[in-house]
A and B are shown apart, each in its own frame.
Chain A
Amino acid sequence: MSVELHAHPRAHRIGEVILSVENVSLAFGGVKAITDISFDVREHEVRAIIGPNGAGKSSMLNVINGVYHPQHGRITLKGRTFTDMHPHRAASMGIARTFQNIALFKGMSVLDNIMTGRNLKMKTNFLQQALWVGPARREETEQRRAVEQIIDFLEIQHIRKTPVGRLPYGLQKRVELGRALAAEPELLLLDEPMAGMNVEEKQDMCRFILDVNDHYGTTIVLIEHDMGWSWTSRTAWWCSITARRSATARPTRCAPTRP
């Protein structure tokens, strides 16, 4: 079993459509959160979803990874079509995400949080783990090695044993990104990764997100309100959602503020 991250030296060429959302509608009782939205996401691209508050952006991400179940429409992921996703299936098909309001496991250390992100890579059962026999112990060490690479990548070595509840907000956001990366996702959904950060933290986060795309070739779909920190990479596309329609466009008038 290889636990090395699939590292690639340079940016990746944009490939085929990896995720396609077709005519998705979602309503909570009488409130229509999403009405008939369609868009495609291609492999290795960075795609931003924008729209006013309440447009249904976060709901869209929740539909893609199966937290919400849409009433209509289809989702095609890596060639397989579903009318409805489940979180476990989404995770095992390579979707990882972060949340708008940080959803870390507050009582656990940074290390344990990121290790939890790799739970789908763990193959030993609970009896082996209770006895701490060979395979369980080996697996724990192997996964630890992979997690340490992510910790290095995100530059959070100094806080690896700290309970995440004690960390400042910006670092918590970074740890949450780490937990998502730990699953070695093909598609990473980021819900407002820079909300509530100061300029410096935003620069850092921006750099990490673009680095993830460059190094690992991860396809990224993100929601962000701050147009200035714009998705300046040549791969960025906007996908604007309002409750009733969506449009996709390439950003043409964004200031190149890549750090």
Chain B
Amino acid sequence: MFYRESGQFKSSYAEDQQIFPIRQDRIGIAALLVLAFVVVPLTADQYWFSAILTPFLIFSLAALGLNILTGYAGQLSLGTAAFMAIGAFMAYNVELRLPWMPILGSFAIGGLCAAAVGVVFGLPSLRIKGFYLAVATLACQFFVLWAINRIGWFSNNSSSGVITAQKIVIAGYTLDTPAAKYLLTLAIVTLMSLAAKNLMRSETGRAFMAVRDMDVAAEVVGIRMMHTKLLAFAISSFYCGVAGALFAFCYLGTVEPEAFNLDLSFRVLFMIIIGGVGSILGCYLGSAFIILLPILLNLVAGGVSHTFGVEINHASLSNIELIVFGSLIIFFLIVEPHGLARLWQIAKEKLRLWPFPH
């Protein structure tokens, strides 16, 4: 009833091509941005910033990076965590060795290094596809962690390979509170999401999707296969690299190479599968599902045991949590294999007619 675009006419192609062509969507997204940038910083507490919101945003960015590669360009990758590691460790090294470099510059250089490595490990994609390519990117995952562990330069010769991220200073201000770090992460993630959306609705994005859907036809209409696939790897790895740098600087502070193991790659992959492959909204939904749901389950379980006076010991509580979490993943995949983003889309279609059937 409220979500209806009738009466909203487009009189130019530019109007038809905007990101949110429906007015209700534009109002909604503006409200969301105000909420995220203004209301949340004023109301949320430390725990929310450092344990929930910041990791949620960082994982959304990593999922966005993987989604560009896997969801849009159709190249399956298990190297996400490796690219994040490169971003984190290179940003750390740039800060360490070039003290004059502004922090955002370090993040960008971390991302660019990840992009370069991504291009190298993307080369097999010119010959192999699907599961076989995933195995090739697995090699990247192991190789990068091995290199960071073995080559002392990356961690400034720290014996355990652990790095401690430097202070974040932007234009003289030191961002050391969780709220400030949240705002920085939010700003970067918002801008990079916008850039990703722009990219995916223009020629580059169409070329990615064409390669994904039918590579022979893509080649025949003149899309250069090598250029397109390597560009997809580069952009995706850049996003993952920046996410990794934020992971180290804004979330953990102190990171060991093992934080970027295969587990993390799989986590990000699950995010895009649950959220929606080939959808930017899906990255956020998937990240929220994987990050927030365990916390929510924890709260619910705690509440249940409290109200009913049942004493549940901690070990079985966390097991129950895992069981519920696993079943929910299976449930969502059966109900909607195209992810939460598709459920949202279906809900919007339904809302257009609700509450009247015609």
**Interface residues, chain A, with chain B CB atoms under 8 Å away:** 65, 67, 87-88, 90-92, 96-97, 99, 103-108, 112, 115-117, 119-120, 122, 124, 126, 129-132, 136-137, 140-141, 144-145, 148, 179-180, 183
| A-B contact list, 8 entries, CB within 8 Å | A108-B213, A116-B218, A119-B207, A124-B203, A129-B204, A130-B199, A140-B203, A141-B12
Instruction: A92-B222, A112-B206 given; name 9 further pairs at CB < 8 Å.
Output: A88-B222, A91-B220, A105-B209, A108-B209, A108-B210, A126-B235, A129-B204, A130-B199, A180-B221
CB neighbours (8 Å) of B231 from chain A are 126
Q: Is the CB of A105 within 8 A of B203?
A: no
Contact A119 B17 (CB under 8 A): no
Known: A87-B220, A92-B222, A126-B199. A144 touches B207 (CB 8 A): no
Is A105 within 8 A of B218, CB to CB? yes
Per-residue CB proximity of B214-227 to A under 8 Å, as 1/0? 10111111111000
Chain B residues closer than 8 Å to A141, beta-carbon distance: 12-14, 17
The chain B residue sitting closest to A132, CB to CB, is B198
Task: State the main secondary structure of chain B at its contact with A.
Answer: helix
**B209 surroundings in chain A (CB, below 8 A):** 105, 107-108, 112
Residues on B with C-beta less than 8 A from A131 are: 195, 198
**A67 and B216: CB pair below 8 A?**
yes
* Interface presence of B241 (CB below 8 A): no
* B79 in the interface (beta carbon within 8 A): no
What residue of chain B has the Cβ atom nearest to residue A96's Cβ?
B221
Query: Is the beta-carbon distance between A105 and B17 smaller than 8 angstroms?
Result: no
Q: Choose one: B199, B220, B278; the contact of A129 (CB below 8 Å).
A: B199
Question: Which applies to chain A's interface (DSSP): helix, strand, loop or mixed?
Answer: helix
Interface band, chain B? 20 to 34
Q: Which 9 A-B pairs have the closest CB atoms?
A: A91-B222, A103-B217, A105-B213, A129-B202, A87-B219, A130-B195, A132-B198, A120-B222, A122-B203
Chain A nearest CB from B225 CB (Å) reads 8
Cβ-closest chain A residue relative to B211: A105
Residues of B within 8 Å of A104, CB to CB, are 213-214, 217
Determine if A129 and B222 form an interchain contact, defined as CB atoms under 8 angstroms apart.
Answer: no
B266 to chain A, nearest CB (A): 24
Knowing A116-B210, A120-B222, say if A144 contacts B217 (CB, 8 Å): no
**How many whole Å from A98's CB to the nearest CB in chain B?**
9
Question: Which residues of the partner chain A approach B206 to less than 8 Å between Cβ atoms?
Answer: 108, 112, 115-116, 119
Q: What residues of chain B lie closer than 8 Å to A183, measured between beta carbons?
A: 221-222
Cα separation A107 to B217 with both chains bound (whole Å): 14
Q: Measured between alpha carbons, how far is A148 from B195 in the docked complex, in Å?
A: 26
- Whose C-beta in chain A lies nearest to the C-beta of B209? A108
Inter-chain contacts of A107 with B (CB < 8 A):
209, 212-213, 278
Could you tell me if B222 and A119 are in contact, using CB atoms closer than 8 angstroms? yes
- Whole-angstrom distance from the CB of A59 to the nearest CB of chain B? 14
